[in-house]
Amino acid sequence: MGQTQGAPVWALGTMSGTSLDGVDACLVRTDGVHIHDIGPGGYRPYSGSERAVLRAALGLWPGDPGVAEAAAVVEDAHAALLAPLLARHPEVRLVGFHGQTLAHDPAGRGTHQAGCGARLAARLGCPVAWDFRTADVAAGGQGAPLAPFYHFACVARAGATVPVAMLNLGGVGNLTWVDPSAPDPGAPGALVAFDTGPANAPLDDLMAARRGGVQDTDGVLAASGRVAEGVLQRLLTAPYLRQPPPKSLDRNDFPDLLPALADLSDADALATATAFSAACVAAGLAHLPQPPARLLVTGGGRHNPTLVTMLAQRCACPVAPVESIGLDGDLLEAQAFAHLAVRVSRGLPLSAPGTTGVPAPCAGGRLSRPAPLPAAPGARAASPSAGQERSRP
C-alpha cells in the first residue's frame, strides 16, 4: 500500500497546546508523505490575561458563554505570530491551524478546538487547513492523538530500521510506537498511539495553585521533595492506565489527582505528581506491541530534568530527546500540523485504527481559502480554480 504523492510545498503549522502556554509555529516543506525540509519557527506566549480567558473556557462547547472570547484570543494570537512569518516567507502555500482544545469527549459530545480557520484565512490572506479532529470522532475514532502520522514521517527521515517510540510530554502525554518497515502510516501495524496520562498540566496547576507560578522550572521544586509512594501507588490504580489503546484524554480528565496531593508539602506534591506523570508513561509502554529500541522525547516536559530522570528510571529502553535524531522538540507538534495540513489539502488520511481507533484510515480537516478580492469593474470573473494552492499575492 503506497501513498499518493504530489509535489512538496511549504506549509506553516501551528499548535496551541493543552499547557495553555502559547502558540508554536513552524514551516515544513512536505508532500504530506515525506518531510523534504524543515524551516524556521516561532513562538508567541499567551499573556496572563489571555491565559486566564482560555483557562476559564476549558470544558466549554461551541455556543457556550465564554467560547467566543476564547476563540478571539486564539485567533488574535495566531494572527500576531503568523502574519509576520508569512510576510517573510511568501513561499508558504498553506497554514495548518490546530486551534486550542477546550473540551474533548470523543465518546460523548465530541471534541472542541476554539478558533475559526475561515476567519484566520481571511485575516492572513492564505489558505488554512483546520478542524483536524472532528471527522475522526464522527467516524468513531478518539480524534487524538493526530501527531502520529507526522511521527511516522520523522522516524522514516531519521532512517530508523527497528521500531522506536516518540513521547510528547505536553500538558497531556502521548506516545507513538512506529514500525519503520511499514509502507505507510495507515498500514496495519505501522503505528500504535495513545495518550499516556497527565504530563505537565498537573505540575503547572500545582505551581499556579501553591506558588502563583507558571511551571516548576527545570523541575527544581519536585527535585527538592520526596515522592509519597502510598499516594503514588493509589493514583496508579486509575483504570485508564490499564485500558488498552485506543484512548485519549481531556486536559482535566484526572480530577482526583490534585485533591490526592492536598495534604503534601509543595515540594512533595510536585515530586509525587512528577513521578505520576513519569509512571503513566511507563504504564503506557506495556501497551506497545514490542519494546521500542528508543524512547524519543519531545514537548516541553523534556526540559524538566526531574521528570526525565524519573522517566528513565521507569523505562526499560533508552530515553533520549528528539534532538538526538535531529528534530526540534519545541516545534514538533507545530510541524505535525503543517504536514497534516498538506495531507488535508490532498485528501490523505490523518488517522488510522492504530492511532485513534477509527475503523479505517480516515481523512479529515477543513480547508478555508481567503475570499477572493471583489473583481475590479470591467474585469473578468475569477476562474473557479482561482485560489487553489497558489502563491499568496
Ligand X SMILES: CC(=O)N[C@H]1[C@@H]2OC[C@@H](O2)[C@@H](O)[C@@H]1O[C@H](C)C(=O)O
For residues 78 and 97, the answer to whether their CB atoms sit within 8 Å is yes
Q: Is 146 in the site for ligand X (CB under 6 A)?
A: yes
CB of 63 to ligand X, least distance (A): 19
143 binds ligand ATP (CB under 6 A): no
| Residue that the C-alpha cell 527545570 belongs to | 218
Closest distance to ligand ATP from the beta carbon of 101 (Å) = 7
* Residue list for the binding site for ATP: 17-24
* Residues 149, 349: Cα–Cα separation, whole Å: 9
Starting at the edge strand found earlier in the chain, the sheet holding 191-198 runs 191-198, 172-178, 164-169, 295-298, 319-321
374: burial class by Cβ within 10 Å (0-12, 13-18, 19+)?
A: exposed
Rg, the chain, Cα only: 21
Output the smallest distance, CB 172 to ligand ATP, in A. Answer: 4
CA distance 216 to 204: 7
Residue 343's binding partner among ligand ATP, ligand X, none (Cβ under 5 to 8 angstroms by kind) is none
φ/ψ (deg, to 5) at 83: -60, -50
* Binding-site residue set: 17-24
Backbone angles phi, psi at 332, to 5 degrees: -60, -40
Site string for ligand ATP, 187-206 (x = CB under 6 A): -------------x--xx--
User: Can you tell me whether residue 17 is helix, strand or coil?
Assistant: coil
Amino acid at 51: R
Window 19-58: contact mask with ligand ATP (x via CB under 6 A): x-x-------------------------------------
| 171 lies in the site for ligand ATP, by CB under 6 A | yes
**Interface region with ligand X, contact rule CB under 6 A, candidates 22-30, 78-86, 171-179, 267-275:** 171-179
Give me the least distance between CB of 233 and ligand X, in Å please.
Answer: 25
Nearest to 31 by CA among 300, 255, 341: 341
Residue 174 within binding range of ligand X, rule CB under 6 A: yes
CB of 157 to ligand X, least distance (A): 18
Instruction: Choose one: 51-59, 83-91, 165-173, 372-380; the region binding ligand X (CB under 6 A).
Output: 165-173
147 counts as binding ligand X under rule CB under 6 A: yes
Q: Is 49 exposed, middle or buried (0-12, 13-18, 19+ CB in 10 A)?
A: exposed
* 297 makes contact with ligand X (CB under 6 A): no
Residue 392 to residue 89: CA distance in whole angstroms: 10
35 SS3 class: strand
* From 32, 299, 353, 361, residue interacting with ligand ATP (rule: CB under 6 A): 299
Look at residue 279 and give its three-state secondary structure. Answer: helix
What does 268 interact with, of ligand ATP, ligand X, none (CB < 5 to 8 A by kind)? none
Q: Which residues of this protein are in contact with ligand X, per CB under 6 A?
A: 17-18, 101, 104, 111, 144-147, 168, 170-172, 174, 195, 248-249, 333
Q: Which residues of this protein are in contact with ligand ATP, per CB under 6 A?
A: 15, 17-19, 21, 168, 170-172, 200, 203-204, 215-219, 299-301, 303-304, 333
